[in-house]
Amino acid sequence: MKSQKEVSWIYFFLGLACFLIPGGVAVFIAYDRGISFAPVLMFAGIVIWGGLFWLFPFIEKKFRKGRNIVTFDERDQLIHKKSVMAGYVVLWIYFVAVCVAAWCIVGPHGSISVNVMPLTLLRGSSFLRLCRVWHP
Amino acid sequence: MVILLLQLFGFFVSNLPVKLITSVITFVLCCIVAVLYLHRSKIAKQGTNQYDERDKSIHKTAALAGYITAFLVLFFTILTVFLKVGPGGSIDIGHLLTIFILGAVGLFFGDSIAVLIQYAWGSKGENS
C-alpha cells in the first residue's frame, strides 16, 4: 500500500509538470504570437488529458477483460472513483470561487482578460490531480 | 434547460427591468434545483426501503458523469470564447456567470442522463 502511495505521488508530480508547463506555454504563445493551430491544440490536449486521464484504468480493464490478470479490482475502482469525485468537486468550487472573486474585483460592469479563463481551467485541473493523490 | 433559455433571453434583452426580473427568476430556479439536489443527496446518505445499495451506486456514478459533462462544457465554452475573442481581448464579467450556469446545467443534464441510462440497463429482463 505504501509503495502505491509513493507511485501515486510520483505520478502526481510528473503529471502536474507534464500538463502545467506545456499548458502555460500554450497560453503564452497564443498571447505573444497570436492564435495558431499549435497552441490551441496543445491547450486542448493538455486540459482534456488532465481532466479525463483518470478514465485510463477503466478503459484498460475493459481491454484486459479476456485475460486472467487482475490489476484493478473492485476496491481500487471504488477508491479511484471517490478520489476523482473529490477532485471534480474541488475543481467546481475553485471555478465558482474564481468567478465570484473576479466579480468582486472588477465590479458588475467590468471586464476581464480572456487569458484568465484557460489559466483557471489549467489550475483547476491541477487541483483535480492534487485531490486524487490526497484522497484516502 | 429553462434556466439556460432564461439566461440566453437575458442577453438579448436590453431593457433593464426585464433583465433584472429574468436574473431573479434564474436565481430562484437555480436555488430550487440546488435544494432538490441536496434533498436527494440526503435521502441517498440515509438510505430507505426504496433506496438500496444499487441505487446508491447508480447515483454515485451518475454524479461522476455529471461532473465530467460539466468539465467538458466548461472546457469547450472557454475554448470557444478564447478562439472567438483572441488572446489579447477581454470579455464582460457577465459572461463568467453564463459560463458558470452552462457548467451547472451540464452537471445536472449529465447526472440525469446517466441515471436514466443506468436504470434502463438495470431493468433489462425485469418484469415489474
Tell me the pLDDT tens digit for each residue of A20-58: 777 777 777 777 776 666 777 777 777 777 777 777 777
ipTM value, please give it. Answer: 0.71
- Asked whether residue B69 falls in the same domain as residue B103, the answer is yes
Considering only CB atoms, which chain B residues are within 8 Å of A31? Answer: 87-88
- Asked whether residue B25 falls in the same domain as residue B4, the answer is yes
Interface test with B, best of A33, A88, A125, A126 (most B CBs within 10 A): A88
Q: Which residue has the higher pLDDT, A95 or A11?
A: A95
- Assess if residue B58 is contained within a domain: yes
- Tell me: pLDDT of B111 over 70: yes
- Asked whether residue B62 falls in the same domain as residue B80, the answer is yes
Q: Coil, strand, or helix at residue A36?
A: coil
User: What mean pLDDT is predicted for residues B9-26?
Assistant: 71
pLDDT confidence band for B128 (50 / 70 / 90)? very low
- Asked whether residue B42 falls in the same domain as residue B83, the answer is no
Question: Could you write out the three-class secondary structure of A73-105?
Answer: CHHHHHHHHHHHHHHHHHHHHHHHHHHHHHHHH
Query: Which residue among B61, B71, B88 places its CB closest to the CB of A51?
Result: B71
Mean pLDDT in chain A?
73
Domain that holds residue B32: 1-46
pLDDT for the residue A68: 61
Residue in A closest to B57 by C-alpha:
A78
Q: Does A86 touch chain B (CB under 8 A)?
A: no
- Asked whether residue B87 falls in the same domain as residue B108, the answer is yes
What percent of chain B has pLDDT above 90?
0
- Asked whether residue B39 falls in the same domain as residue B59, the answer is no
- Assess if residue B34 is contained within a domain: yes
Whether B87 and A31 lie within 8 Å, measured CB to CB: yes
- Tell me: pLDDT of A14 over 50: yes
Residue in B closest to A53 by C-alpha:
B68
Q: How many CB atoms lie within 10 A of CB A134?
A: 14
Q: By the 8 A CB rule, do A129 and A83 touch? A: no
The 8-class DSSP code of residue A35 comes to -
For chain B, the domain total comes to 2
Residue in A closest to B92 by C-alpha:
A111
- Asked whether residue B32 falls in the same domain as residue B57, the answer is no
Q: Which residue has the higher pLDDT, A85 or B5?
A: A85
- Asked whether residue B16 falls in the same domain as residue B62, the answer is no
- Helical pair B2-12 and B94-122, crossing angle rounded to 10 deg: 160
In the structure grid, which three cell numbers stand for residue B95, read together?
459572461
- Asked whether residue B61 falls in the same domain as residue B32, the answer is no
Mean pLDDT in chain B?
76
pLDDT confidence band for A10 (50 / 70 / 90)? confident
- Assess if residue B36 is contained within a domain: yes
Query: Which pLDDT tens digit goes with each residue over B84-104?
Result: 887 778 888 878 877 887 888
- Assess if residue B111 is contained within a domain: yes
- From the number of C-beta atoms within 10 Å of its C-beta (0-12, 13-18, 19+), residue B17 rates as exposed
Exposure string (b/e) for B19-58, b if CB count within 10 Å is 16 or more? eeebeeebeeebeebeeeeeeeeeebeeeeeeeeeebeeb
- Assess if residue B127 is contained within a domain: no
- Asked whether residue B65 falls in the same domain as residue B101, the answer is yes
Q: By the 8 A CB rule, do A87 and A16 touch? A: no
Write out residues 46-75 of B within 8 Å (CB-CB) of A: 60-61, 63-64, 67-68, 70-72, 74-75
Interface test with B, best of A85, A117, A120 (most B CBs within 10 A): A117
